[in-house]
Amino acid sequence: MVLLILSLLFAPAARAEELAAGLSKDDIKISSSFTGTDLVLFGAIENEGGASIGIVQDRDVVVVVRGPGTAVTVRRKERLGPIWINRDQRRFVGVPGFYFVASTKPLAQIADAATLDRYHLGLAHLDFKLPAGAVMAPVDYRNAIVRAKSRGDLYNEQPGGVQFLSGSLFRTTIALPSNLPSGTYDVNVYLFRKHEIVTAFGTPLRIGKTGVERFLFKFANDLPWVYGLLAVLLAALAGWVSALLFRQRQ
Amino acid sequence: MELYLPIAEMPVNIWFMVGLGAAVGFLSGMFGVGGGFILTPFLMFLGVPPAVAVATQSTQIVASSTSGVLTHFRNGTVDFKMGAVLLVGGFFGSIAGIAVFNALKAAGQIDLFIALSYVIFLGAIGGLMFWESLGALRHGGSKVGALRREPGAHTWIHGLPLKMRFHRSKLYISAIPPVFLGFLIGLLSVIMGVGGGFIMVPAMIYFLRMPTAVVIGTSLFQITFVAAFTTMLHAITNQTVDAVLALLLIVGGVIGVQFGMRLGARLRNEQMRFALAVLVLVICVRLGMDLVLPPADPYSVVGENTE
């Protein structure tokens, strides 16, 4: 019996299953006219063993795209007299600016909660870290982040978003919204067999901002004195020109 | 045509923003008001973060008041000495204002504070104007200017020390009231993104008793420099000045103000004041409702720029 199990474990290892995937574009430049784009990920399972024994039924693929982590502050409004006022606040670090997960089935049917938690698969299994020494935040604050990011299409969970085109070829479409944060994203593809991860594949996706607004953002933050002075001079010049135009019309 | 605002971090339609600037410029030209107290709430309604709306509005005020002060400068209706004294107060007011602004921002209360300041000021000014114009409409005549300047009248202001002579305004008064007034305007300018003309002009006429002819020019002189200083303070401490948004609003405003002035010359004063009072009260109620009604989501998430 032990031998049988061992042989089952090691036999496929000789021709281990592997994943390969590619993005329709792996370097996206956001310019001032960027209104969002669709990215297509194609993938294939190599050395797929056991197709003959009908193993296709227990085969699942999960695609995760994570943007770079940032710090966010969550504030909760409470009623104070007649007005609503921010009372409590919690700061989280390592909150992905973008998160997308697509799978062949709803995630709960693919793996147990412990596995989903370990690999941060699904909006309910993301972990937002608190800064060192901070007290535990109630789960409501965590959910508020997911809600806010989902409203801006920055967080997205698509059960059934991964489709198999043929026996081992699959694809998924990743919708990137216009307010995409820049940075290097991690794209990970996981292959599940019987609710366990058997192999994974990772590739980076670079999102960079270009154009005038990128330049202005950096300018405003790097040289605030010069930026402020130029804004004032530009405004004064516009006022002066309009005064000149107005005088000519009189 | 969509454009991404670099500091407000949101896409906007260029023509919509130019149109908004033009519409507010039109009102500004028609009623002879700065327009900052109308434009800032509108920017907030559109989803521009209040801190960015206020800072960017200061930049727009630099443009509109520069244009105005140049016209008054040519007509010789600027009291530079009075303007300079007001400006001293204005600079200190702006510095105090930015300290308050940044402390509230760190505490997460700046959005509420800006909205509350607007509700209070718009409510008070709109209410007064509504009442006054309603009475004027009923009696068929304008009561504006009924409170005329009495040169001989002495008030407690004349008992204050540090007296200065203001030749252009034909005044010999203490420097303390104008410095105090300037301070107040500087404070308002930073926190609300307004020029403050709606407070400064009545205060100069009734409180300092300056001749009406130099009031507008002198207040514009002070507003130009205070708004420029305020823009700098916001740009340096918070990086909240959106130059692209300011430019769109300025372009629209320059055009709108010309048409507004032309139409304003043809309309009856009381009707205009009544219409403006109604508009101000509507904005006040709308802002107030956002504070009082239960929010759609009691939690708000603010990201930090890591770049």
Rounded to an integer, what distance in angstroms lies between the CA atom of residue B256 and that of residue B274?
Answer: 20
- SS3 state of residue A216: helix
CB spacing of A231 vs B300 below 8 angstroms: no
Which of A86, A182, A229 lies closest to B112 in CB terms? A86
Q: Which of A70, A73, A216 sits opposite B244 (nearest CB)?
A: A216
Is the per-residue pLDDT at A3 higher than 80?
no
Nearest CA in chain B to A244: B67
Question: Closest Cα of chain B to A232: distance in Å?
Answer: 6
pLDDT at A2 over 60: no
Q: What is the residue extent of each domain of chain B?
A: 20-27+34-144+155-292
For tokens 């709306």, what's the residue?
A: B53
Q: Do residues B81 and B217 lie in contact, with contact meaning Cβ atoms separated by under 8 Å?
A: no
| SS3 category, A142 | helix
Q: Which residue of A has its CA nearest to B254?
A: A242
Give the lowest-confidence range in A35-44, A47-56, B135-144, B298-307.
A47-56
Mean pLDDT of A75-101: 90
pLDDT tens-digit series, residues B7-27: 887 888 999 999 999 999 888
Angle subtended at Cα B160 by Cα B155 and Cα B166, rounded to the nearest 5 degrees: 85
Give the pLDDT confidence of B195-237 residue by residue, as tens digits: 888 888 888 888 888 888 888 889 999 999 999 999 999 999 9
pLDDT score of B80: 93
pLDDT for the residue B151: 52
Q: Is the pLDDT of residue B89 over 60?
A: yes
Contact A159, A108 (CB under 8 A): no
Provide the pLDDT for residue A108.
Answer: 92
**How high is the pLDDT of residue B304?**
65
- With contact defined as beta carbons under 8 Å apart, do A79 and B298 qualify? no
Nearest in space to B18 (alpha carbons), one of B1, B32, B6: B1
Structure tokens at B184: 């107040």
Mean pLDDT of B62-80: 88
Q: How many CB atoms lie within 10 A of CB B140?
A: 7
Is B243's CB within 8 Å of A249's CB?
no
Write out chain B residues lying below 8 Å of A178, CB-based: 4, 11
* Chain B: closest CA distance from residue A27 (Å): 18
Instruction: Tell me the residue ranges of DSSP E strands in A47-105.
Output: 59-66, 69-80, 83-96, 99-103
pLDDT at residue B269 above 80? no
Average pLDDT over every residue of A39-50:
82
Phi, psi of A50 (to 5 degrees): 75, 20
Could you please report the per-residue DSSP string of chain B? -EEEETTTTEEEEHHHHHHHHHHHHHHHHHHT---HHHHHHHHHHTT--HHHHHHHHHHHHHHHHHHHHHHHHHTT---HHHHHHHHHHHHHHHHHHHHHHHHHHHTT-HHHHHHHHHHHHHHHHHHHHHHHHHHHHHHTS--TT-S---TT---GGGG-SSEEEETTTTEEEESHHHHHHHHHHHHHHHHH----HHHHHHIIIIIS---HHHHHHHHHHHHHHHHHHHHHHHHHHT----HHHHHHHHHHHHHHHHHHHHHHTTS-HHHHHHHHHHHHHHHHHHHHHHHHSPPSSSEEEEE----
Residue listed under structure tokens 């507008």: B216
Residue B99 pLDDT class (50, 70, 90 cuts): very high
pLDDT digits (tens, 9 = 90+) for B253-267: 988 888 887 887 777
Question: What are the residues whose beta carbons fall under 8 Å from the beta carbon of A123, sequence distance 6 or more?
Answer: A99, A101, A146, A150, A155, A157
Coil, strand or helix at A170: strand
The pair phi, psi for residue B93, each rounded to 5°, is -60, -40
* Predicted local distance difference test score (pLDDT) of residue A179: 81
**pLDDT computed for residue A1 by the predictor:** 52
Which residues touch B217 (CB under 8 Å, ≥6 apart)?
B69, B72, B73, B75, B77, B78, B79
**How many whole angstroms separate alpha carbon B243 and alpha carbon A213?**
10
The token pair at B147 is 């409170």
Residue A201 gets which letter from DSSP?
Answer: E
The set of residues, in sequence order, having a beta carbon less than 8 Å from that of B133 and lying 6+ positions away, is B270, B273, B274, B277
pLDDT for A53 equals 47
Contacts of A177 in chain B (CB under 8 A): none
Strand partners, A65: A100, A187
Q: Where residue A49 falls among pLDDT bands split at 50, 70, 90?
A: low
Tell me what pLDDT residue B116 has.
Answer: 93
Q: Tell me, what's the pLDDT at B3?
A: 82
| Longest pairwise C-alpha distance within chain A | 102
Residue of B67, B247, B248 to mutate for A, most A C-beta atoms under 10 A: B67
pLDDT tens by residue, A5-35: 544 455 444 457 888 899 998 888 887 777 7
The stretches of A2-157 forming alpha helices (DSSP H) are 2-14, 107-110, 113-118, 139-151
Q: Extract the tokens encoding B126.
A: 């709109």
Q: What is the pLDDT of residues B33-69, one digit of tens each?
A: 777 888 999 998 898 988 999 999 999 999 988 988 8
| In contact, B195 and B61? CB cutoff 8 Å | yes
Lowest mean pLDDT among A53-62, A142-151, A227-236: A53-62
Give B170 to chain A, closest Cα distance, Å. 28
Bridge pairing between strands B171-174 and B299-303: unpaired
Residue of B nearest to A215 (CA): B6
Biggest distance spanned by C-alpha atoms of chain B: 62
